[in-house]
Amino acid sequence: MKTKRAMSDSRRADEQLKRLETGRADNQPKWPYWVCPYHYSRAEWIDIEEWMKETMGTSNWLEENARWVSSDRKYWFREEADRTFFLLRWS
């Protein structure tokens, strides 16, 4: 049986695992689908950003038909399929 300390250490380790949270924002009609990566290294964030630009083009909130934008450590997508593609690549 695990001690309280072992359970606490295990829980802390789980909280530091890389993960991707997803959602849909009804109040964001242009880019309703989002992904928020957690516990990715700075190098991985740079890799993600480069991959996004190479795969889906540049990100610009002012561009009418942009496929994606980023804000506050979230990636927002116009199409659910693009979000799914992101999840398959980075999970």
The secondary structure of 39-69 as a DSSP string is S--HHHHHHHHHHHHHHH----TT-TT-SEE
Phi, psi of 47 (to 5 degrees): -60, -40
Task: Write down the pTM of the prediction.
Answer: 0.80
Retrieve residue 89's tokens: 């690549």
Contact criterion met (CB below 8 Å) for 83 and 22: yes
First and final CA of the chain: distance in angstroms? 32
Q: Give the single-character DSSP code of 91.
A: -
Query: Has residue 4 got a pLDDT over 80?
Result: no
pLDDT digits (tens, 9 = 90+) for 7-55: 455 555 556 799 999 999 999 999 999 999 999 999 999 999 999 999 9
